Amino acid sequence: MNTKEVKIINQGLEDEMEVWGYQPCLWKMILVGVGAVCTGGLLLLLLYWLPEWGVKGTCTHTSLRDAHTLLLRSTDEFKQWFRAKVQVMSAPGRKPFDSLDLPPTAQLPNGDGDLSIGAVHEERRGKFAHGQPAQIYYFTHHDTTYYWNDLMQNFEFYKGLEDLKLSCASIHSDHSCGLSKTLQEYRALFFGENMIAVEVPSLFKLLIKEVLNPFYIFQLFSVILWSAEDYYYYATAIVIMSVISIATSLYTIKKQYVMLHDMVAAHSVLRVTVCRGNKDVEQAMSTELVPGDVIVIPANGMIMPCDAVLIHGTCIVNESMLTGESVPVTKTGLPSSGEEAARRYDMEEHKRYTLFCGTNVIQTRFYTGELVKAVVVRTGFSTEKGQLVRSILYPKPTDFKLYRDAYLFLLCLVGVAGIGFVYTIVLSIMNKVPAKTIIIESLDIITITVPPALPAAMTAGIVFAQRRLKRIGIFCISPQRINMCGQLNLVCFDKTGTLTEDGLDLWGIQRADDGSFAPPESDAAKESLVNSAFVACMATCHTLTKIEGELSGDPLDLKMFGATGWILEEPTEEETALHNPIMPTVVRPPKHTVPEANQNNPLTENMRVPFAPQCCEIGIVRQFPFSSALQRMSVVVRRLGEKHMDAYLKGAPEVVARLCKQHTVPQSFTETLGTYTRQGFRVIALAHRQLESKLSWHKVQSLSRDLIETNMEFVGLIIMQNKIKEETAGVLLQLRQANIRTLMVTGDNMLTAISVARDCGMVRAHERVIVADAVPPKDLHPASITWHYTENTAQTIKDTQVRQKASEPEERINQLEHDEPGTQQEQSYHFAVDGRAFAVITEHFPQLVQKLVLNATVFARMAPDQKTQLVEILQSIDYTVGMCGDGANDCGALKRAHSGISLSELEASVASPFTSSTPNICCVPNLIREGRAALITSFCVFKFMALYSIIQYLSVTLLYSILSNLGDFQFLFIDIAIILITVFTMSLNPAWKELVWRRPPSSLISGPLLCSVLTQILTSLAFQVLAFLLVRQQSWYETWTPQSDACNVSSFSFSNSSNTTTTPQDPKNIRNYENTTLFYISAFQYLAVAIVFSKGKPFRQPSYKNCPFMLSCIVLYTFLLFIMLHPVPAIENFLEIVCVPHDWRVTLVIIVIVNAAVAFILEIVIVDIVLWKLIFRGNQGVNRPTESPSADTPQVANGRWASSFLSWFFCRRNKPPRVRYMRLALELQDDTDWPPRPSVVTYASDPQSHNSTPL
């Protein structure tokens, strides 16, 4: 392939792809057709499975401009191939936002919904007859349409209105009137229908796709082959298994499609009011909307059918579908003037003005005579909801080493089958076997070596684990990720709602007056504070609203407002209509707050009820909602009877202090704030400003928040208490003991996050926290990082409890340090980084990022996209990352992590593989335990199925040497009665009751597992060959015939009666002494291997607690021993085995017992003890400083010498760790400049970033 012709589409995005152009080649297509006929269609299947071969085999390379077929390859680690067909449409312009010089009467027909896109385009083309239509090339991939751009000489896709790179002001000036019908229909050519269409494939389509799976094709090949050999019973059993497997798979896939379709289609099509020009308004279907349309939001709300930016009015919106946060949020109109209006519109940056598709607009507020309007920004799959649905419809492959190794292992089995294939052909030719028999038997050896029941067996353990998870309240939508949970070695936790309680309690307030703090107060509802600016700010600076008579909004706002005891009243629609300006929301104190002097005065007694509320009544004129980027919110209010307006501000203390006049900020501000945050309190600062009296209501509505939020006067602090959940400390201790690193990723204040990390045991009392404070480059100064060491403050009682609990497993933790350096948080320091510093470090200090995250534990003030970025960085250094959050702002990280665990049961959890109905982190160790059990089960099953294939392969190969084989019913008994029952019951072992420090291996291609399989193969081979040779050495041995009688006298009558009905000649030579001997030996070998491989502790419960498995083993052992020691003619006839002397049966029992003992000893002693404990585990700590051997006891010294010798023998001495984070940890051990010393400043100018200067 000519790499010079490659183009990149979606450059820099998650779904970036390389694309090559091809056009059909006649002679290649003829060759493929001939090849398909000659191979019976197998060549077509191969080209279907490998799209790149399919395209290259039928097409020739050409430029993208002339291509008829495109070959796409993702640029991520999976390198997936796709093919797409280029289509053509005619349109009067080349881009959707081109201006059309068309008469108003030129209309486009709606088109028939049954036609394809291309047909609709063709039908619409003729309506633009007055201009020369342009030919536009496009293709569709994963529900996204890409159009050819002549200027770029590449394909591009159109998101929506954002492609115009408009400023907020230009949206108001150029796009607030709506589109003409002609322009709307023209844009519809490019953007299509505004629908997130989840097509539910027909059962026939799903069936064809499922049946064309390579595994089922192989099964079909096997069934045809067995039928040719007259193995009808076994072939029928395989067909029945396949039908059940296919039916189950189809049912599951169809159900998932239907669920997704129902979720998306619930409110996807509705009637909307669309503006056409300045005054024209018409009803239209939501499917007709295109970017640039202006829609009217009705007063009673609606489910948004698209992404739209609000330009007039205010909306209360429930965004739980996207964010997982059920608290309604307030959306205001996009600024039309000021500094913010001049900025380019960005959906993420301006999300507080944007209504997202699928969210529920609960109610609206508006001006008289003006409608609540929004400009459509994105439609269909380009919307936020559409992208979420696309990520579910087209997920990335599960990148797990187990599955990659499984394919490699299968290839090894295919190689073994190839050896047997050649051996069978050579042996058959030497013995002058007929050609038909040679072909059938040589192909049969392949079907024996690759087990047909492997996928079903591998899935069984995962299905059982999924059921067990469901019983403890953990629901899974991606079962394949259960195995990944078994490998988690790092878990990121959100703080609020995850580690701590959802709700906040008001601990107290601390007012500021004349540049100093007053003593803390616990009651904000005191009568003496009614007229204070502090309480007025608490009562007004929020986005609370009444929905069906109940206050609703952010929990923090609810607590803050509730602490004042004030009452909120909202205007009705009738009241709004009577006034030109918007009627404000009004807050007032309760009626009993009139001072006692007035209450006792008879002159005021009659006017007490109306006077009390009105004297302090405040109307909220305008709200600037909370912005996570700005970390603040503000309101403009007017007190009843006052001529001027006031502005109130609340937000992060550091931000608020910067916006206040410095003389109003107490000198002890930093010290006081630090005192509270170090104790884990959440602190919010308040500020006030009196506005100029000349400001009118209308003027305020057009002011930007930057003009309001400046020159404020500092009012004081609100101290909120966020309690740690009872289960948090215990769960984190479990994870620490289990060798699993934990991080906190939160949007909260840095000092609060550090305090919570200490309180819950994530950072222990004796460990230092180093804050990396990074600032971006400014003027001529480069970006820099200042390293601050926080002091170890006195710990709370809970801290003491955590330390006491942690002291018990101290010996175990020391062992962890010894085994895996750098993988635990058992270091003496932790880094803490906030969102701003994280952005600076990732941009200007890329060489420090991996070093930092290796020991960073607290990430504060992190934006949602930064959480996702952090997960990706951790994955880049080979951590297997779990993410646990409550759904709010965590969706991206939950999707990106190897295992995302949502504590929210809302619709947003559809983006997370796991959802817990228990709202605490107890689900995390439970999930990891079940993951480890499922992973070990997968290894056990895979090893067992591999041994089953090899044991059967050995038996058949030995029998082929005497031109014999296993009989049809022998195959049937082995595969159904022994293998299937055993493999499904051995998957039922529940998870071990606690997390242990060891992790299960992640790879099949690892030393212990390969040694385990190889030792068992050699054992099975040795005992089968031994039995095969021994039986031929017996004095009674002869070539068996129906008249042969090798039994003792007591069984003479049985053999005689059974042989009278036997045909004179056995054409397949199934009945013989070698066959009978190998059948018995191999049957017991299957059971022995199953028991040896079915391991329990430390990841699963012991096998003796798995009653179905034990029962099936006992029944099978009993049955086999019974028919071996006490032959039953009916069973012998059925299984096609022959009668052998009693002495030989006893000999076989001895061989079986010795075989089982050897298999058990090799697995336990050689694999579990010698290889795992002395070599593979012990070698994890190589290259670390070792203690002096003089202090070792003789036993320890001997163990160390044994470990060293065996490591040398297996070529593992001084072998560096495979995973990057461990290699990095070893490197940092030798770096004397890491961690940086206190108050050192690191500048970005030096490539090594060692240009550090102490302050």
Judge contact between 1142 and 1048, C-beta under 8 A. yes
Task: Name which of 730, 655, 739, 638 is nearest 691 in CA terms.
Answer: 638
Instruction: Considering the candidates 494, 554, 799, 819, report the single residue annotated as catalytic.
Output: 494
639 forms beta bridges with: 618
Distance, in Å, from the CA atom of 496 to the CA atom of 753, rounded to the nearest integer, reads 10
Q: Is 557 a catalytic residue?
A: no
Maximum Cα–Cα distance across the chain: 130
Judge contact between 286 and 194, C-beta under 8 A. yes
Distance, in Å, from the CA atom of 813 to the CA atom of 734, rounded to the nearest integer, reads 11
Task: Name which of 322, 232, 287, 355 is nearest 113 in CA terms.
Answer: 287
DSSP type of residue 724: B
Judge contact between 1163 and 1191, C-beta under 8 A. no
Please state, as a whole number, how many other Cβ atoms lie within 10 Å of the Cβ of residue 621: 22
CA distance between the termini of the chain: 57
Does residue 738 sit in helix, strand or coil? Answer: coil
Q: Name the burial class of residue 951, with classes exposed (0-12), middle (13-18) and buried (19+) by CB atoms within 10 angstroms of its CB.
A: buried
Two tokens, residue 999: 């992790």
Among the residues of 1034-1172, which ranges form H helices?
1052-1059, 1073-1093, 1107-1125, 1129-1135, 1142-1161
Which amino acid appears at position 649 of this protein? L
For residue 479, say if its preceding peptide bond is cis, omega within 30 degrees of 0: no
H/E segment holding residue 569: strand 567-569
Two tokens, residue 162: 């954002």
The Cα angle at residue 1011 between residues 1006 and 1017, in degrees rounded to 5: 130
Distance, in Å, from the CA atom of 949 to the CA atom of 452, rounded to the nearest integer, reads 10
Please state, as a whole number, how many other Cβ atoms lie within 10 Å of the Cβ of residue 973: 21
Distance, in Å, from the CA atom of 75 to the CA atom of 539, rounded to the nearest integer, reads 53
Which amino acid appears at position 233 of this protein? Y
Sheet holding 490-493, edge to edge: 474-476, 914-916, 899-902, 881-885, 490-493, 741-745, 856-860, 829-834, 768-775, 784-789, 1240-1243, 1252-1254
Judge contact between 1127 and 1054, C-beta under 8 A. yes
DSSP type of residue 1187: -
Two tokens, residue 419: 């050896």
Which parts of 595-680 are beta strand (E)? 618-627, 632-639, 646-651
Which amino acid appears at position 274 of this protein? V
Judge contact between 611 and 601, C-beta under 8 A. no
Judge contact between 270 and 305, C-beta under 8 A. yes
Provide φ and ψ at 257, rounded to 5°.
Answer: -60, -45
Task: Name which of 192, 178, 180, 182 is nearest 108 in CA terms.
Answer: 182
82 forms beta bridges with: 72
Among the residues of 520-572, which ranges form H helices?
533-540, 555-564
Which parts of 399-493 are beta strand (E)? 474-476, 490-493
Please report, for residues 430, 682, 721, the alpha-carbon distance to residue 752 in angstroms, rounded to integers and kept in the order given: 82, 6, 10
Please report, for residues 656, 662, 697, 1180, 1254, the alpha-carbon distance to residue 659 in angstroms, rounded to integers and kept in the order given: 5, 9, 24, 53, 30
Active site residues: 494
